[in-house]
Amino acid sequence: MNYRRLNTNANLPQVIFGVFQITDHDECVNCVYNAIKAGYRAIDTAASYGNEKATGEAIQKAITDGFVTREELFIISKMWVQDMKNYETAKKAITTSLNQLGLTYLDLYLEHQAMGNYFEAYRAMEDAYKEGILKAIGVSNFFPATLANFCENVEIIPAVNQIELHPFFAQELALKTMDHYGVVPQAWAALAEGKHGIFKDKDLVEIGEKYGKSSAQVALRWNIQRGVCVTVKSTKVERMKENIDIFDFSLTEEEMNRISKKSLDHSEIINHFDPELVAFLNHRNIHD
Ligand SMILES: NC(=O)c1ccc[n+]([C@@H]2O[C@H](COP(=O)([O-])OP(=O)(O)OC[C@H]3O[C@@H](n4cnc5c(N)ncnc54)[C@H](OP(=O)(O)O)[C@@H]3O)[C@@H](O)[C@H]2O)c1
């Protein structure tokens, strides 16, 4: 495993297991437990995924069964827009996430979207960081100009910005902006959620054949070599192992450029610039 050093001096593993859309409780417990057994040490959940409780159960089981200690794990969760109304709602959301996960601290906690009152909500996160219950704080889905404005105005620079990053959405300006402010990039949907024929892509398959690797492994490796921490989800143990087995080969500069050129420069998953989507997410409630 490779790591990226955060502005807190903590090390974030470069491959992170994500649990988005694993909604069945028992399936989520099994997936997280199997992922830890397969060697993952970083787990990415969110209040809005509805599976913090299952994730926490799996973590506890893995610790009890002796596979890992709490200190060896890096647990990430996110505050949903509904809770980003003001300082108090944000503070409550942090406590709720910790309770759901059954943890006394989180290694990283993110604002899920640049929506709602995200400056005031962040102040609650800054205070929780100072108290030590959030070991690092950051953001997600902050596009370059929004991130720059945010970094220019907050007291504590976000440790991480988690955004969509894969060969079909390379987001070079986002990486440059993060680099400028010392924010570590964390990719979501590092396999493009399987879209755009990623697993059969001609270039990725051809490059993979040279190294005895799959197109998925090549896509993940490309982000790793760009300094990105990749968040990837699979419910299948074999694929969990495949997705973490990417540290025994290196892509050449030419291969890196060939993959970068595949970018469509827009998302095929979600359009954050659509006002209707912004309104929808602002009204999406995950609790009373
Ligand atoms: N911050 C945000 O707004 C945001 C948004 C989306 C996602 N995320 C985070 O990023 C994580 C990853 O993104 P994602 O889950 O949306 O998508 P993803 O990891 O890009 O893709 C997951 C899909 O690829 C399949 N897959 C995984 N490994 C494979 C392999 N080696 N070969 C073939 N198929 C494979 C999975 O199927 P199987 O499960 O059947 O293997 C699943 O259908 C999430 O779980 C979540 O933690 C964050």
Query: What pLDDT, in 10s, does the model give residues 158-210?
Result: 999 999 999 999 999 999 999 999 999 999 999 999 999 999 999 999 999 99
- Indicate the burial class of 117 (C-beta count within 10 angstroms; 0-12, 13-18, 19 or more): middle
Q: Looking at residue 201, what is its pLDDT?
A: 98
What is the SS3 assignment for 218?
helix
49 is catalytic: yes
CB-count exposure of residue 39 (10 Å: 0-12, 13-18, 19+): middle
Q: Which residues touch 209 (CB under 8 Å, ≥6 apart)?
A: none
Query: Pocket of ligand 1, candidates 15, 20, 23, 78: which has the most ligand atoms within 8 Å of its Cβ, to mutate?
Result: 20
pLDDT in tens, 62-109: 999 999 999 999 999 999 999 999 999 999 999 999 999 999 999 999
**Closest approach atom of ligand 1 to CA 233:** 19
Contact call for residues 116 and 81 (beta carbons, < 8 A): yes
Give residue ranges with CB within 6 A of ligand 1: 18-20, 44, 140-141, 162, 188-194, 199, 216, 231-236, 239, 242-243
pLDDT score for 174: 98
Supply the pTM of this predicted model.
0.98
d(CA 142, ligand 1 centre) in Å: 20
Q: Of all protein residues, whose CA lies closest to atom 5 belonging to ligand 1?
A: 188
For the CA of 239, the nearest atom of ligand 1: 31
Of the residues 19, 80, 188, which should be mutated to test ligand 1's pocket, given the most ligand atoms within 8 Å of the CB? 188
Nearest residue CA, atom 21 of ligand 1?
Answer: 193
Q: What pLDDT does 10 receive? A: 98
Query: Rounded CA gap, 198 and 277, in Å?
Result: 26
What contacts 227, CB < 8 A, 6 or more positions away? Answer: 4, 175, 179, 184, 185
* Nearest protein CA to atom 22 of ligand 1, as residue: 193
pLDDT confidence of residue 111: 98
Q: Atom 36 in ligand 1: which residue has the minimum CA distance?
A: 234
List the residue whose alpha carbon is closest to atom 37 of ligand 1: 234
